[in-house]
Homo-oligomer: A and B are copies of this chain.
């Protein structure tokens, strides 16, 4: 079947988001092959004959971070003729949300990779800047209607941290009273009996994402909906 049709190189590129010290970060690698060897790029790789696109994305993410079973979503396929000057390559882009503290630092070093705060991101090869911009758009969309913030924070986190994450994602100051009200009113945060005193002398209460209650609420028709007006 289909013998006479053209075949193509298919790549998968991963936009890897993290959050640390109050800023949203991006994991980038220094490219080791031509063309554009030595320049910054997204982590990517070619699709194998015997794996699905999702499997390829997981494989590539694991290669660089050591992580599995993290939040990873396809968001767009890029297929312009000249996007890679060396060859005609179709690239399917995925974005991942990971907890920075949990990834494998040694792997990142091996790959000559680095975490960049979003604001300090260098120019990337090919159409990777476009991909990053699209991924951020998608993240913004997701973060309003799904509790994805938790994917980027450690298991225990404070409300000021949580708010700061949203402020990074939307590049905007939020009112802390309104933010707390709306996030707490969802009932998906579990307040712990511990404080985090690294950020202040008074200390901030730690919370945990109550996944079970979230699932429970979903079945009752609840929809996560943080209102952040554009």
A residues whose Cβ falls under 8 Å from a Cβ of B: 1-2, 5-10, 33-35, 46-54, 56, 74, 76-81, 86-90, 92, 223, 230
Cα(A53)–Cα(B52), bound, Å: 19
Of chain B, the residue at the smallest CB distance from A54 is B79
Q: How many copies does the complex hold?
A: 2
User: Which residues from B are CB-within-8-Å of A48?
Assistant: 6
Q: Is the CB of B1 within 8 A of A35?
A: yes
User: Which residues from B are CB-within-8-Å of A7?
Assistant: 7-10
Q: From B46, B54, B78, B90, give the contact of A6 (CB < 8 A).
A: B46
Cα(A8)–Cα(B2), bound, Å: 11
Cα(A5)–Cα(B90), bound, Å: 13
Q: Is the CB of A87 within 8 A of B1?
A: yes
User: Which residues from B are CB-within-8-Å of A34?
Assistant: 1
Q: Is the CB of B74 within 8 A of A92?
A: no
Q: How far is the CB of A29 from chain B (nearest CB, A)?
A: 17
